[in-house]
Chain A
Amino acid sequence: MENRDPENNHAIYHYLETQLQVFKGHFLITQATMDEEAIHQMRVAIKRIRSIRKLKKHINFPSLLRDEQYVSIKALFAVSGQIRDLQVQRTLLKNYVSELKFEFGDFSSFLDLQESQLAVQLNQTIQTFYNNQFSEITQARGGIDLVEENTDIENESVEFLHRKIDKINKLILLIERDEFVHNLRKQVKQLFFILQFLKNHFPASVFSAYKLKALKDIGEHLGKWNDRDVILNRLHEFLEPRDDIYLEDNAEYQILIYCLEDEKKQMLKDIDLALYLEMINLKSLFQEDYKENQEMETIVEEANPIETVNAKIIE
């Protein structure tokens, strides 16, 4: 996997720049209309930026974003995440209203109130973000020239991915507990974004052979699990202050709880096995490539041992 072309190293910057542009576009729409899809797409762009940021921490190349800009993006991500969750909950509730034939009127009003409060909070965050940070982001393009020519993003990414896979494998063992499923979902999403980036920008590499669909499907299942978990928590938050008489008179909420819990189980069914197999698949792909590299190095060494040793010493 010989890949020392500086242009390849610039790929990461082109990718980040593209994501920043995508983010900027959706940010402006969100600012103007609070459109549901714009908020979602803005968050997806941030997730991609954050995934690459994780890779960057491992490889250590100059960043397009200053630390304080990144902190602001994270704050925006958190607030927009809460509003996004509420929007997802509304959609889910709508589906349950039609499926279970109950109105769930009180819960719906509760969500309305929360959404309006969060919208105000998001507006304030957007305003602060726009005034302080956003105008400067696109000026950071000069970072591309700072990439060292011997930085081998492709090779170094493999090591990073190995660590990510190990982390996911450990989390699979803890899938019975909700807090670990949340972490697993995030790890799978990050892995997906990084692989997507590497596959698109290094078409001749080992990553190109990998089919992303299985991982995408697993990620979607985990996403659906998360949607149900979030609405379930919100529902408990809504029901907690109510007395027993309210709960018994409105037993449809209990039916909703049963359905959500059941669907959560369904979403995780066999996912541990599927994910485990996918990780083996991914790891074996990298290992084959690693073996090939080792073999190639051995052939070169055997052909010209002195030069190879000298080269290693110089290195």
Chain B
Amino acid sequence: MPVDMENEYKPGEHLDNDSENGVINPDDFILDEFAKVEGNHIQGPAKDDQGTNPELIHTADEIMEIISQSDLIERAKQEKLQMVLQKQIGIFERKTEILDRLILEMELIKKKRRLAKKAMKKAKDNKLSKDKLKLIKTHLSQTTEARQHCKQMINQEQKNLKSINAIINLLENAS
């Protein structure tokens, strides 16, 4: 038996000892009763050479209170986790909508750009004035700029979604 197990409380043991002396230690009795109810082997408080250390012994009420507090803390933790998770799912959904809209916008910009290119070709074929060519060129460069801007925003949103997704996975594993 290891040294630290020497002082282990053994149910029934103290009753025999104490009954020999005709005195029952009430704290030991409660612990014993608790062990019976729980069906577990409860480790008793460290005992000195005489076998008792009343200052270090928790009462059954105190233990119940600690267990109850731990339950509450655990429940609160789970609720908090669920709340954060739901919030992140909401953000994820909103960001997905934004991304969908941006993709549609990108399609529209690409369509405008294709049209502007075709218009430029037709304008050149018809030898339109410099003013008209300049006007079409302005529109063409506007679509280029819009495409770049939209692309940046799509990339950013995709990154955001990836991060949020990672957070959601983490929270789901933790809960």
Q: Are B114 and A255 in contact (CB under 8 A)?
A: no
Residue from B118, B119, B135 within 8 A of A262 (CB atoms)? B135
* Contact size range, B: 10 to 19
Given A259-B132, A259-B135, does the pair A251, B115 have CB atoms closer than 8 Å?
A: yes
Q: Within 8 Å of chain B (Cβ to Cβ): is A247?
A: yes
Q: Within 8 Å of chain B (Cβ to Cβ): is A244?
A: yes
As a 0/1 sequence over residues 139 to 154 of chain B, the CB contacts with chain A under 8 angstroms (1 = contact) are 1000000000000000
Residue from B111, B119, B127 within 8 A of A255 (CB atoms)? B119
As a 0/1 sequence over residues 262 to 299 of chain A, the CB contacts with chain B under 8 angstroms (1 = contact) are 10000000000000000000000000000000000000
Q: Within 8 Å of chain B (Cβ to Cβ): is A254?
A: yes
Smallest beta-carbon distance A210→chain B, Å: 38
Tell me how many residue pairs across A and B have CB atoms closer than 8 Å. Answer: 38
Task: Please report the C-alpha to C-alpha distance between residue A251 and residue B118 in the assembled complex, in whole angstroms.
Answer: 6
User: Which label, helix, strand, loop or mixed, suits the secondary structure of the A interface?
Assistant: helix
Task: Please report the C-alpha to C-alpha distance between residue A100 and residue B115 in the assembled complex, in whole angstroms.
Answer: 17
Q: Are B132 and A252 in contact (CB under 8 A)?
A: no
User: Which label, helix, strand, loop or mixed, suits the secondary structure of the B interface?
Assistant: helix
Within A78-110, the residues touching B (CB, 8 Å) are: 100-102
Task: Please report the C-alpha to C-alpha distance between residue A258 and residue B127 in the assembled complex, in whole angstroms.
Answer: 17
Q: Within 8 Å of chain B (Cβ to Cβ): is A240?
A: no
| Chain B positions within 8 Å of A255 at CB level | 119, 122-123, 128, 132, 136
Task: Please report the C-alpha to C-alpha distance between residue A247 and residue B127 in the assembled complex, in whole angstroms.
Answer: 20
Task: Please report the C-alpha to C-alpha distance between residue A259 and residue B126 in the assembled complex, in whole angstroms.
Answer: 15
Task: Please report the C-alpha to C-alpha distance between residue A259 and residue B136 in the assembled complex, in whole angstroms.
Answer: 9
| Chain A positions within 8 Å of B115 at CB level | 247-248, 251, 254
Q: A251-B122, A258-B136 known; 19 other A-B pairs, CB under 8 Å?
A: A100-B126, A100-B128, A101-B126, A101-B127, A101-B128, A248-B118, A251-B118, A251-B119, A252-B119, A252-B122, A252-B126, A254-B118, A254-B119, A255-B119, A255-B128, A255-B136, A258-B135, A259-B132, A259-B135
